[in-house]
């Protein structure tokens, strides 16, 4: 390839300059926004997952001897809300269903995402795995 051919080829690449820089900026922006969203969303979702497990343990504990009242289950769930960073205004409903204890908990927590606020809605019912101990 001669020098004249190289010089002739150079102007055709002039329109491509900066294309990779723009792609890099877009990719970095997407990664940063994804990381920011995960930073705010994941702790709330993880605490909700752990709280579901705690709900199941609590209703199972209340159903087996010596047994606990529905009020005890509700108070345990409300007091655990602080440990799991849950909203204090959550709705707790505990009742006996078909010989088992069922605890229904609902709450909504706002998650700040880029450009908008997402409402994370928790709505879970935990039923005891064993029958209620008759007192």
pLDDT digits (tens, 9 = 90+) for 89-123: 999 999 998 888 999 999 999 999 988 999 999 99
Angle CA(103)–CA(106)–CA(111) in degrees, nearest 5?
Answer: 145
In percent, how much of the chain has pLDDT > 70?
Answer: 82
Least confident of 46-50, 66-70, 76-80: 66-70
Q: Where are the alpha helices (DSSP H) in the chain?
A: 3-13, 19-63, 70-83
Q: How far apart (Å, rounded) are the C-alpha atoms in residues 113 and 22?
A: 24
Q: Model confidence at 65, in pLDDT bands (50, 70, 90)? A: confident
The residues spanned by each domain of the chain are 18-127
Sign of CA dihedral 35, 39, 42, 46: positive
Angle between helices 70-83 and 19-63 (to 10 degrees): 150
């Amino acid at each position: 390839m001669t020098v004249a051919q190289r010089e002739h080829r150079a102007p055709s690449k002039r329109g491509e300059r900066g294309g990779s820089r723009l792609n890099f900026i877009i990719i970095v922006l997407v990664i940063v926004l994804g990381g920011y969203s995960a930073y705010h969303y994941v702790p709330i979702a993880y605490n909700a997952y752990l709280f579901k497990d705690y709900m199941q343990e609590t209703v199972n504990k209340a159903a087996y001897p010596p047994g606990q009242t529905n009020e005890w289950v509700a108070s345990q769930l409300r007091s655990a809300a602080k440990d799991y960073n849950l909203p204090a205004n959550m709705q707790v409903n505990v009742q006996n269903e078909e010989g088992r204890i069922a605890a229904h908990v609902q709450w909504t927590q706002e998650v700040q995402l880029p450009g908008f606020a997402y409402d994370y809605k928790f709505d879970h019912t935990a039923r005891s795995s064993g029958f209620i101990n008759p007192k």
